[in-house]
Amino acid sequence: MKLNDAQAGLAAAERRIGEVILAVEGISLAFGGVRALNDVSFDVREHEVRAIIGPNGAGKSSMLNVLNGVYRPQAGRITFAGETVAAMEPHHSAARGIARTFQSLALFKGMSVLENMLAGRNLMMKTNIFLQALRVGPALAEEIAHRKRVEEIIDFLEIQHVRKTPVGRLPYGLQKRVDLGRALAAEPKVLLLDEPMAGMNVEEKQDMCRFILDVNDEFGTTIVLIEHDMGVVMDLSDRVVVLDYGKKIADGTPDEVRSNQAVVDAYLGVKH
Amino acid sequence: MGATTRNLTIAFFVLLVFGAVSPMLFTDAKFPQWLEVILGGVMSGVLYSLVALGLVLIFKASGVFNFAQGAMVLFAALTLVRLMEKMPFVVALVVTIVVMVALAWLVERLVLRPLVNQEGIVLFMATLGIAYFLDGLGQTLWGSDIYTLHVGMPKEPKILLEGTFEGGILVNMEDAIAAVLAGVMVAVLALFFQKTGTGRALRAVADDHQAAQSIGIPLNRIWVIVWSVSGLVALVAGVIWGSKLGVQFSLQLVALKALPVVILGGFTSIPGAIIGGLIIGLGEKVSEVYLGPLLGGGIENWFAYVLALVFLLFRPEGLFGERHIDRV
């Protein structure tokens, strides 16, 4: 009996990290003469926390924007859930299950927390627009179901007390949570987080770390994360990609990356 | 801030009601005549609301003040009136609707799509261009004469409530029908925006293009929808004003009156556009009739703009607009 439990536990731990769900190959992106990304390849496995790090201007956000479909790379391929394309389109990537948060907040400031999150589920609303307007029949049932799911996420992120407040009036730390919540509301397979801890104090950072790990554990969401805080990255992530001047210079577990000479040089500078 | 602004709003409305009622209290105005003035004000107010609504729709969905709204009103009315020379009204109406939707699609494809994620001012300048283009296009295609538009609305004023008051109340039936039509339109649009997923998507696009894209809202389709809807609003406004004043270049200037309306009501608020329109319609009629003799008349022409100026000074977000707090 005990053996079975132990085996099951082991199996679960192994199952936690699954097959490759998202992969990029040879991605190159240039803005005029500036090469933001140069032949970058890496993969992301199901259920893992994958970090992209690098000094300022290394191309981290550009990479995220490529995954999300905001930028179209000039070369390379993106494979997501078995489908290979040359470039993503923003609303198609959302429809296939990629959600994201933003480095500098991009919330719907005039809407309440609740509405922001409901907007995150926009793609899932199927009923006829006329029924929606009148709130009758299946549209009412649908609205209630969506509302229920959103309330669960609000509880999860501990922002019940501000659910009706216009987002523009919330303090920064809470806005960051709403941003995460809106992405979660879409029930994504892969969640892209662009510097989720930027500008936060220690306490807020700890909360955000906890939320990210819980999302990964409880919802089984795959997470791709950009972060500057090295401590955070090393604690949170399963594997790390390091970019410098648009090129991949290292890829591996946090320990491997930490002891990589190229990474140390990139961060601390090197004598020529 | 909540309490003070609410008090200011309440104070404003109290002042408004007082202003509207004061002729009855302090002058020897007759009740039926006063009621006529009020009704006239409300009816022209609803028409201002309708044009303002077109502005608010586009502003909500793209954060752009659409300078071309007036040109769209004229273009829609011109198209309709010239098509009616060749075909029955209903067919002409359908064709005009198709034209307005096609116009929305072209605006999205040729103007807005290349400008995704640009500053509001850039998009505003683009609508300036659209306005002049539509102007020229309309006059090239349809000519620049004054056309009369008959859509079967009764032109004769009716006298109502003759039994209740001596002489009754004179009501312009054309205005009354137009007001009802505009009212229905306004109600439908308000429901659409506030209660539907698409409405929510529209508001999301207004707040942040990039974020809206990231949650899977197809920006391009939303813009086509919203420009089509505001094209239809322009058509209704064009038909109503056109049949009142004739279809001519000055229809464009009607949209100018919609500017103080949205400043008053708030750029982002549909109820604001409605109430703002009513306030301005009512205010200018009442002050023209009762204050006009004291101040030498002509109040109707500047009332709206002065009121808008006062609002810009003390409450730039309007009565119902969203207040944005910018952090430094």
Residue A144's pLDDT is 86
Task: Give the chain A residue nearest B205 (alpha carbons).
Answer: A108
Q: Whose CA is closest to B64, among B140, B5, B138, B119?
A: B119
The mean pLDDT value for B99-106 works out to: 92
Question: Cβ of B214 under 8 Å from any chain A Cβ?
Answer: yes
Residue A24, beta-bridge partner list: A42, A78
Task: Give the chain B residue nearest A166 (alpha carbons).
Answer: B322
> Which ipTM was obtained for this model?
0.73
Give the pair of three-digit tokens for residue B250: 């000055």
Q: How close, in Å, is residue B246 to chain A by CA atoms? A: 35
Minimum mean pLDDT range among A10-19, A250-259, B218-227: A10-19
Residue of B188, B214, B317, B322 to mutate when probing chain A, most A C-beta within 10 A: B214
Answer yes or no: is pLDDT of A100 > 60: yes
A91 and B219: CB-CB below 8 Å? yes
pLDDT digits (tens, 9 = 90+) for A117-173: 888 887 777 666 666 666 667 778 888 888 898 999 999 999 889 988 888 888 888
Residue A74's pLDDT is 92
- A42 in helix, strand or coil? strand
B213 and A109: CB-CB below 8 Å? no
Residue of B184, B215, B219 to mutate when probing chain A, most A C-beta within 10 A: B215
B216 and A68: CB-CB below 8 Å? no
Assess contact for B198 and A129: CB atoms under 8 A: yes
Q: How close, in Å, is residue A56 to chain B by CA atoms? A: 22
Question: Cβ of B114 under 8 Å from any chain A Cβ?
Answer: no
Assess contact for A74 and A65: CB atoms under 8 A: no
Residue B227 burial (10 A CB sphere; 0-12, 13-18, 19+) = buried
Answer yes or no: is pLDDT of A11 > 70: no
Can you list the alpha helix ranges (DSSP code H) found in chain A?
A: 2-16, 60-68, 90-96, 113-120, 129-134, 137-156, 172-185, 202-214, 230-236, 254-258, 261-268
- Interaxial angle between packed helices B270-286 and B2-26, expressed in degrees from 0 to 180 and rounded to the nearest 10: 30
Rounded CA gap, B98 and B92, in Å?
10
Q: How close, in Å, is residue B216 to chain A by CA atoms? A: 4
Answer yes or no: is pLDDT of B51 > 90: no
> A-chain residues within 8 Å CB-CB of B214?
68, 70, 90, 94, 99-100, 102, 106, 183
What mean pLDDT value characterizes chain B? 82
pLDDT digits (tens, 9 = 90+) for B233-292: 889 888 888 888 788 888 887 777 888 998 888 887 777 888 888 899 888 888 888 887
Can you list the alpha helix ranges (DSSP code H) found in B246-316?
A: 251-265, 270-286, 292-295, 299-314
> B-chain residues within 8 Å CB-CB of A168?
322, 324-325
Rounded CA gap, A117 and A102, in Å?
15
Interface of A with B (CB under 8 A): 68-70, 90-91, 94-95, 99-100, 102, 106-111, 115, 118-120, 122-123, 125, 129, 132-135, 166, 168-169, 172, 182-183, 186
Answer yes or no: is pLDDT of B100 > 60: yes
Q: How close, in Å, is residue B212 to chain A by CA atoms? A: 8
Residue A190's pLDDT is 92
Task: Give the chain A residue nearest B324 (alpha carbons).
Answer: A168
A107 and B211: CB-CB below 8 Å? yes
> A7 falls in which pLDDT band (50, 70, 90)?
low
Q: How close, in Å, is residue B7 to chain A by CA atoms? A: 20
Q: Whose CA is closest to B65, among B119, B1, B27?
A: B119
> B-chain residues within 8 Å CB-CB of A115?
200, 203
- Give me the domains of chain B, ranges plus CATH numbers: 2-21+29-314 (1.10.3470)
Q: How close, in Å, is residue B21 to chain A by CA atoms? A: 36
A99 and B214: CB-CB below 8 Å? yes
pLDDT digits (tens, 9 = 90+) for A203-242: 888 899 999 999 998 888 999 999 887 888 888 899 999 9
Answer yes or no: is pLDDT of B6 > 90: no
Task: Give the chain B residue nearest A182 (alpha carbons).
Answer: B215
What mean pLDDT value characterizes chain A? 84
B211 and A68: CB-CB below 8 Å? no
Rounded CA gap, A269 and B107, in Å?
51
Q: Using alpha carbons only, give the angle B117, A153, A47 rounded to the nearest 5 degrees.
A: 80
> A-chain residues within 8 Å CB-CB of B266?
none
Minimum mean pLDDT range among A2-16, B71-85, B244-258: A2-16
pLDDT digits (tens, 9 = 90+) for B115-138: 877 777 888 899 999 999 998 998
> B-chain residues within 8 Å CB-CB of A125?
197
> A1 falls in which pLDDT band (50, 70, 90)?
very low
How far CA B251 is from CA of A82, A255, B70, B290, in Å, comes to: 57, 72, 7, 27
Assess contact for A120 and A94: CB atoms under 8 A: no
> B-chain residues within 8 Å CB-CB of A90?
213-214, 216, 219
pLDDT digits (tens, 9 = 90+) for B27-40: 777 777 888 888 88
Strand A49-53's sheet: what is its strand order?
A: A98-100, A190-194, A222-226, A49-53, A239-244, A247-252
> A-chain residues within 8 Å CB-CB of B216?
90-91, 94-95, 122-123, 186
Strand A34-45's sheet: what is its strand order?
A: A34-45, A20-31, A75-80, A83-85
B325 and A122: CB-CB below 8 Å? no
The mean pLDDT value for B155-184 works out to: 75
Answer yes or no: is pLDDT of B326 > 50: no
Give the pair of three-digit tokens for residue A6: 């132990």
Q: How close, in Å, is residue B208 to chain A by CA atoms? A: 6
Residue A111 CA to chain centroid, in angstroms? Answer: 22
Q: Using alpha carbons only, give the angle B95, B98, B102 rounded to the nearest 5 degrees.
A: 140
A108 and B204: CB-CB below 8 Å? yes
Annotated domain spans of chain A: 19-97+222-272
Rounded CA gap, B211 and B214, in Å?
5
Residue of A129, A164, A174, A190 to mutate when probing chain B, most B C-beta within 10 A: A129
Can you identify the CATH homologous superfamily of domain A19-97+222-272?
P-loop containing nucleotide triphosphate hydrolases (3.40.50.300)
